[in-house]
Structure 1
Amino acid sequence: MLPSAKLTCLLVDDNEMNRLTLEHLIELTPELELVASFTNAVDCLEFFRQGGQVDLAFLDIEMPLLSGLDLVRIMPEPQPDIVLVTSHRDFALDAFELRVTDYVVKPLEFPRFLQAVQRVIKNRQAPAAAPQAAAASFAHDQHFFVKVNKKMVRVNYEELLYIEALSDYSVLVLDKQKLIVYTTLKNLEERLPTNQFARVHRSYIVNTRRIDVVEDHMLIFGKHEVPVSKSYQEGFYRRLRGV
C-alpha cells in the first residue's frame, strides 16, 4: 500500500451514539475511508463471508448474538487489522491472545483514536519478513501485559525466567515473584520474542538469556531448575550454542 493511499475501514457497534462518534472520528481522519457501518457483528460477518474486504475494522466487544471477540475468532482470512473499542478493560487479555492491533477503552477520545490509526499504519508498513513483528500486539520492545486477578500486570522480558504450564493456567516465574495467569502456554508463546524465549518441554518456555547453568538436560536459573525434554534437546542445544 502506498503511503498516500487511504485505509479502507468498517466499524461495528450496537450503540448508536458510539457508532456515530466513531463515524465522525473516521470522517475527521484523512488516512481513513469508511466502507461500512454495522449495528451488529452478525451483519459484519456476512459482509466478510460475501467477499467484502477492508484494511481495518473497529469492533465493539459486548454485542448481542455475537461479540466482537467471537467475530475476530471466526472472521474469514485474510483478516484486516483489528482495533477493539470497548467500555471494559477486562477483555484485554483475550484481545492480546487474538493478536489484535490495538485495544481502546471508551469513552473514545480523538488523540487516542489517532494513536490507534497510526499503530495500524505502522503495522502495515512493517516488512512482512521481520521476525520480531510476531511479538504480542500492544507488546512494547521490553515488556508485555498479562491479566492477574482482574488486573493487567506488566511483565518485563528480562525479569521473566521461565513459564510453566499448569492445567488451564500458566505460571510466570520472575526474579521476585510468580504470576498465575488463566491462559495456555501456547498463547503466551505466541506473544514472546522468538530471539529470547524458547520452548524446551511440553510444559516449559524459558528465557535463554537468563540461563545460569546447563547440566544433565536441566536448565538452572538460580534456585530454579527446568527440564529439557528429549524431543526438544537437539534443536534447543543447537540454538543455545549460537546464543
Structure 2
Amino acid sequence: MLTTTPLTCVIVDDNEINRLTLEHLVDLTPELSLVASLPGGVEALHFFRQGGTCDLLLLDIEMPNMSGLELAKLLPDPAPAVVLVTTHRTFAVAAFELQAVDYLVKPVEFARFSQAVAKVLAARPTARVAPPAAPTSAEMFVKVGSRSLRVNFDEVLYIEALSTYSVLVMPTQKHIVYHTLKSLTERLPFHNFMRVHRSYIVNMQRIEAVEDYVLKLGSYQVPVGKSYQEDFQRQLRSL
C-alpha cells in the first residue's frame, strides 16, 4: 500500500477489551495513526462537534445511549471513511445503506483488518475535487443525515420543530434536518421567513389564505401563536 501520510483514525467501542484490540491492530498498521479511542457514540459525537476530525472511523454498532448506526448519520461533513465493527453479521444491510467502506465481524483478525484498511486507502480521492458552486440568494446548505443538502428555500412552505431537529416542508417532500428551529431562525438570511409559533417558521410568500390565525400553505395548515399574532399582522400588511 502506497501512502506518504498515515490516515488519522478514531476508534469508538463501548467494550474496553474490544477497544484495546483495535488499538493494537492500528498500532501494527503503519498506514494508520490513532488520534482518539472513545467509549461510546455520545463521546464520539462530542469529539466531532468540538472540531475533532479523522480520516477513518472504526465504529462499533451496538452501544448504549447512541448506536454506531445513529452516530454515523450525525457525522459532520466531510465525513470520515467508516468501517463498522460488530459481533453480528445481521447488520450488513445497514452497513451498505450507510455506505460504510467495510464491515468487520469480531473478533477481528489482523489480516482481515488490513484488507479493510486497503479498501479505505483505495477509496481515497486522488484528484482535488472542485468546491460546490456558491448557493444563490434563496439557497442554503443544511445538514440532512450524513450529508449537506442544498435547499432552495423559495420552495419551502414552512419549517416545523421536531425535538432537537427540524422538518423542512415542501409541496411534494419533507426533509428532516439536524438543526433546531432556533438555530435555523438565526441562520435564515431570507426576509420572507417569519416565526409564527413556537413550533413553526413560515414562508410568508407561500401563504395562500389566512382564517382565524390559521395559515393555508398548499395542502398544509399552520397555526399562528397568540404571542406572534400582532407581529404577523404587521408583516402581512407589508407584503
Larger of the two Rg values belongs to structure: 2
Q: Distance in 2 between matches of 1:51 and 1:85?
A: 24
CA distance in 2, matches of 1:89, 1:126: 32
Map of 1:35 onto structure 2: 35
Q: What is the distance in 2 between the residues matched to 1:75 and 1:104?
A: 20
Q: Partner of 1:103 in structure 2?
A: 103
Q: TM-score, structure 2 length as denominator?
A: 0.52
Whichever residue aligns with residue 5 of structure 1, its letter is T
How far did 1:97 drift? 0.7
Question: How far off is 1:126 after superposition?
Answer: 5.1
> Are 1:121 and 2:131 counterparts?
no
The aligned residue for residue 134 of structure 2 is none
Q: Distance in 2 between matches of 1:127 and 1:110?
A: 30
Partners of 1:65 and 1:128 in 2: CA distance: 38
Aligned to 2:52: 52
Secondary structure of 1:83 counterpart: strand
Q: Unmatched 5+ residue regions in structure 1?
A: 130-243
* Secondary structure of the structure 1 residue equivalent to 2:22: helix
Deviation at 1:3, TM superposition (A): 2.3
Structure 2: stretches of 5+ with no match in the other structure: 130-239
1: CA distance, partners of 2:126 / 2:22: 26
| TM-score (normalised: structure 1) | 0.51
Aligned length: 128
Match for 2:58: what amino acid? F
Q: CA deviation at 1:89?
A: 0.8
Q: Which runs of 4+ in 1 moved over 2 A?
A: 125-129
Contact 2:57 2:83 in 1 (8 A): yes
**Partner in structure 2 of residue 185 of structure 1:** none
CA contact (8 A) 2:56 2:82 kept: yes
CA distance in 2, matches of 1:35, 1:117: 16
Structure-1 separation of matches of 2:128 and 2:15: 36
Q: Residues 11 and 37 of structure 2 are in contact (CA less than 8 Å); yes or no, is this contact kept in structure 1?
A: yes
1:64 matched to which residue of 2?
Answer: 64
Q: What is the RMSD computed on CA atoms of the aligned residues?
A: 1.5
Per-residue deviation, residues 78-123 of structure 1 (Å, max 9, x unmatched): 1000000000111110110110111111110000000000000000
Which residue of structure 1 lines up, in the alignment, with residue 88 of structure 2? 88
Q: Which residue of 2 aligns with 1:75?
A: 75
The superposition leaves residues 105-150 of structure 1 with CA deviations (integer Å, 9 ceiling, x where unpaired) of 1110000000000000000045577xxxxxxxxxxxxxxxxxxxxx
**Counterpart residue type for residue 107 of structure 2:** P
- Displacement after TM superposition at 1:74 (Å): 1.1
Alpha-carbon distance change, 128 to 100 in structure 1, aligned in 2, over 3 angstroms: farther
Query: Aligned partner of 2:115: which letter?
Result: Q
Q: Deviations over 1:163-208 (max 9, x none)?
A: xxxxxxxxxxxxxxxxxxxxxxxxxxxxxxxxxxxxxxxxxxxxxx
